[in-house]
Structure 1
Amino acid sequence: MGGLLSELGKKLAERWLSLLVLPGALYLAVLGTAALLGHGHAVDPHQLTERISAAAEARAVGTFGGQVVVLGAVLAGSAGAGLAAQALGSLVERICLGAGWRAWPRPLRAPARLRVERRRQRWTTAAQGYHRLLTEARRARGRGERGDPTARWAAHLAMTRVAAELPDRPTWSGDRIHSVSARLERVHRLDLATVWPYLWLILPEPTRAEISAARQSLYRGSTLTAWALLYLPVAGRWWPAALISLTLALAGRSRTRAAADNYALLLEAAARLHGGELALRLGLTSALPGPAAPPGPAVLPGPACPPDDADDVDGTGPTPLTPDVGDALTRALYVPPPAPPPAAD
């Protein structure tokens, strides 16, 4: 038990150091540099060395107690800056994904609606061009011809650069994750928001670990953007901080988009691979329409034996996620809201 607690404490200390202290210490270093140099000597290392040396020769810093106080202040300030960045990162993530933008305050909701409408117009134009080329390619294959697919691939890339499905969020990352729900509803009649909590409980541990890691990567991308916002005010005192803020903002945007794409791919793959298994465990596949089984010899009753594979109860293989399976799962797991109380007489 002592070894387990020691290992757990070590891992917590490593995470605390890597996620809070080190980024916060770098932020405090930039703040100190900005306070010492300002705009006049922004990139003068000699001036910085002289002023740090002068501050280190102070009597309060030269004592052991003063050094302990300084070290404690640096650790506390670094952790505080890291916590502030994580809190701001949660807000940045909500804005970036834009899941509830229709409930945002009016000053934010109006530009979000305008951006969604513009994204829909761009996506519709790109989708029309892609489907026109796709129809032409299908007709050519029907005639036994095969044309150059370069134009069709370029049109598909132009469409997915806006969104994978009809845009419903003000940002690409938000639409990328929303496209999973839209596609599963369109193709499989599956409401992912309703089914996902139950599906998560039956996923294998490696699959859940992959999805959790992708979700954490998405949060870290938003936190990187939050650091960019924290560095931006420092540029008012020290102009190189503007370059740091811009670099972090670009890196945060790139990491957020990549993480959102990976997270969406894993969500859709998990739903497609394990949706049939969930229906099987809930006993819904027996009620689904299917071909009538041929008559066979009578089977005497015997002791029930658990199947070796939950996905292969009748020996026919895993249950595929068809529109009937998706609709059955949604109907079985959807909980309707309570009815309103009767009106008073």
Structure 2
Amino acid sequence: MNGLLAELGKKLAERWLSLLVMPGALYLAVAVSAHTLGHTHPFSLHTLTTQITQWANAPAVRTAGGQVVLLAAVLAGAAVVGLAAQALGSLAEQLHLAADWRSWPAGARHMAHRATERRRKRWEAAADIWRRHREAARAARARGTRADPAARHAARAAMTRISHESPDRPTWSGDRIHAATVRLDRDHHLDLPILWPHLWLVLPDAVRSEISAVRQSLIRATTLSAWALLYLPLAVWWWPATGITAILAVTSWRRTRAVADTYATLLEAAARVHARSLAEHLGLTTAGPLTHVSGDTLTRHLIGDTRSTPPVACNRHPPRL
């Protein structure tokens, strides 16, 4: 038992250092450098080393007690900054995924609605082009020929750059995860938010580990947006901080899109592959592939008997793992 607690404490300490202290300490170092250098000489290494040397030679810092206090202050400050980034990261994730944008405050909700409508119009125009290419390819096959697929593939790529399904959210990442819900409902009549907590219990360990790892990657990607916001105020003292902010914001945007795509793919694949296993665990025999009928049966079984209680509105948020 003592060994288990020691190992657990070690892992918690490692995560505390990697997620909070180290990024926070880097932020504090950049903040101190920004305040010291200013706009006039933003890259003056001599000015920075001279100031650090003066601080190091201060009487309070040269004593053992002063060094302990300084180290504790740096660790505490780094942890506080790291916690602030984590808190802002949760907000950034909600903005990136926009699962509940219809419940946002009126102003933000109006902006999200307009963005969603603009994305939907762009998607419908791109989808029409793709459908025309698909119909042309189908007509060519009926004639015994084969149309050049390059234009059709390009049209589909242009459509999916906007959204994989008809947009329902103001962001690409949110719609990418929402697309998994749409496809499962359309193809198998499976309600992913209802299905997922039950399916998670029967998934193999390797699948759960993979999905959990991708989910953590999504959290880290959106947290980069929070760090971008934290670095932005440093530009008041030191103009290169705007470059750091821009790099972090672009990196967060690109990583979030990439990880959201992987996460949605894994959610959809896990549901398609293992939904029958869940049905068998529940005693619902399904012969052959999963159909609309078997999907409806499984969904109704998971919802339970609603005759004595009012129906609960389905929350279309992505599964929280």
Structures share fold, TM-score greater than 0.5: yes
Q: Does 1:281 align with 2:248?
A: no
**The structure with more helix, counted as a fraction of residues:** 2
Q: What amino acid sits opposite 2:309 in the alignment?
A: P
**Is structure 2 residue 116 aligned with structure 1 residue 128?**
no
CA contact (8 A) 1:273 1:321 kept: no
1:280 CA drift (Å): 2.0
Residue of structure 2 aligned with 1:324, choices 275, 293, 296: 293
User: Residues 21 and 75 of structure 1 are in contact (CA less than 8 Å); yes or no, is this contact kept in structure 2?
Assistant: yes
Aligned match of 1:144: 144
Deviation at 1:35?
Answer: 1.5
> Contact 1:232–1:242 at 8 Å: present in 2 too?
yes
After TM superposition, the structure 1 stretch with the greater mean CA deviation from structure 2, 1-10 or 252-261, is 1-10
Partner of 1:57: 57
After TM superposition, list the pairs within 5 Å mapping 1:1-345 onto structure 2: 1-285=1-285, 319-335=288-304, 336=306, 338-339=309-310
Secondary structure of 1:206's counterpart equals helix
How many residue pairs align between the two structures? 309
Amino acid at match of 1:324: V
* Contact 2:130–2:156 under 8 Å retained in 1: yes
- Give the equivalent residue in structure 2 for 1:291: none
CA distance in 2 between partners of 1:256 and 1:177 (Å): 12
* Greater C-alpha radius of gyration: 1
1:176 maps to a residue whose letter is R
Any gaps of 5 or more consecutive residues in structure 2? 312-321
Q: State how far apart, in whole Å, the 2-side matches of 1:332 and 1:131 are.
A: 37
Provide the secondary structure at the position in 2 that maps to 1:285: coil
1:222-251 deviation per Cα after TM superposition (whole angstroms, max 9, x unaligned): 111110110001111111111111111111
- Partner of 2:280: helix, strand, or coil? helix
Q: Deviations over 1:240-263 (max 9, x none)?
A: 111111111111111111110010
C-alpha distance in structure 2 between counterparts of 1:52 and 1:31, whole Å: 13
Give TM-score scaled by structure 1 length.
0.87
Relative contact order higher in (CA < 8 Å, ≥ 6 apart): 2
Q: In 1, distance between residues paired with 2:142 and 2:296?
A: 34
**What letter matches 1:69 in structure 2?**
V
Quote the Cα distance in structure 2 between the aligned partners of 1:331 and 1:129: 38
Q: Hey, which bits of structure 1, 4+ residues long, moved more than 4 A?
A: none
Q: Secondary structure at the match of 1:232?
A: helix
Secondary structure (helix, strand or coil) at the match of 2:99 reads: coil
Give the Cα separation in 1 of the matches to 2:219 and 2:90: 7
> 2:25–2:75: 8 Å Cα contact kept in structure 1?
yes
Amino acid at match of 2:133: L
Structure 1 residue 320, shift from structure 2 partner: 2.3
For the Cα contact (< 8 Å) 2:136–2:147, is it kept in 1? no
Task: Provide structure 1 residue ranges, at least 5 long, that are not aligned to the other structure.
Answer: 287-315, 341-345
- Structure-2 separation of matches of 1:323 and 1:3: 51
C-alpha contact (below 8 Å) 1:98/1:169 kept by paired residues: yes
